[in-house]
Amino acid sequence: MTPWTPADMPALDGRTAIVTGANSGIGLPTVLELARHGARVIATARSEAKGEEAVAAVRRAVPGARVERALLDLADLASVRAFAEGVDEVDLLINNAGVGMTPRSLTKDGFELQFGTNHLGHFALTGLLLPKLLARPGTRVVTVSSDAHTRGRLDFDDLTLERGYGRMSAYGRSKLANLLFALELQRRAERAQADLKSVATHPGATATNIVKVGPLKPLLGLFLLSPETGALPSLYAATSPDIRGGEFVGPKLRLLTPSADAASEELAARLWDVSTELTGVRFDRLAAR
């Protein structure tokens, strides 16, 4: 079988895509290929300068690309709401941005940074954009998780991790939450008979800014995937006609099996309820019919 490449992507003319964390890592090649195939792409970043650099890079590679930058800080729910209010339409939402292995700190809303940014920010963004997603046919939400989700544990009595913090375990917890969210979103879309597919991805060990290992980074880089390769699961999940909602796509576009915790419908429902309470964002349009 010939390996799938971005050359196999369908034409995306008339489709609007949003990519969070678009200025670096796998976000930038994701934006580039979506734009190359005709999509209008809203590329979000936390700073105007970085967003402008990303947009300029895409336009140099794809003259005439329909790409625009937008400010979005997923660690600030006010920023999430302001961004969502400014979106006119969306067909593809790629929840890509993330922070990892950071010292313990809190978001502007008082959430542990990795959980607040990687999960709660994207949960709120998806919920706020849901009416616009459901107004379009064949929409997709792609949420970037990781195999690190297997090292995550959810303690609902200590979501700020005041009783103990580990950089990697906190990252794994946020990626577990990403996967739980993606799978639960698909279940709720199916129950509501909504024309929406939710897909999770794992890019593989990729050379991105999320990997911070000091002087060892150049050596480690010899064993890491390029951002272009790491972006393939997201691009495939967002555009392939063969993808099904609820799938978990990994490196080489293999379908992965979520951990027992990630597959738990009970745990997913509880996380959904807690996330709704913490963010104040409801997915009323996905109420079962």
- Predicted model pTM: 0.93
Determine the Cα–Cα distance for residues 62 and 44; give it in Å rounded to an integer: 18
The residues near 126 (Cβ < 8 Å, ≥ 6 apart) are: 93, 95, 133, 141, 181, 185, 283
9-68 pLDDT, tens digit per residue, is 999 999 999 999 999 899 999 999 999 999 999 999 999 999 999 999 999 999 999 999
Per residue of the chain (289 residues), give pLDDT as tens: 468 999 999 999 999 999 999 998 999 999 999 999 999 999 999 999 999 999 999 999 999 999 999 999 999 999 999 999 999 999 999 999 999 989 999 999 999 999 999 999 999 999 999 999 999 999 999 999 999 999 999 999 999 999 999 999 999 999 999 999 999 999 999 999 999 999 999 997 655 655 444 444 454 454 567 889 999 999 999 999 999 999 999 999 999 999 999 999 999 999 999 999 999 999 999 986 5
Question: By the 8 A CB rule, do 91 and 129 touch?
Answer: no
User: In the structure encoding, which two tokens stand for residue 93, read together?
Assistant: 């939402």
Could you give the CA distance from residue 166 to residue 114 in angstroms, rounded to a whole number?
Answer: 11
Residue of 132, 272, 269 lying closest to 194 (CA atoms):
132
The answer to whether 203 and 231 are in contact (CB under 8 A) is yes
**144 contacts: CB under 8 Å, gap ≥ 6:** 26, 94, 95, 96, 98, 178, 200, 201, 202, 203, 234
83 CB contacts (<8 Å, ≥6 apart)? Answer: 44, 70, 71, 72, 125
Residue 171 among the catalytic residues? yes
Q: Which of 115, 123, 171, 181 is catalytic?
A: 171
Residue position matching structure tokens 């971005």: 6
Q: Which residues contact 168 (CB under 8 A, 6 or more apart)?
A: 101, 148, 151
For residue 178, the surrounding DSSP H or E stretch is helix 167-191
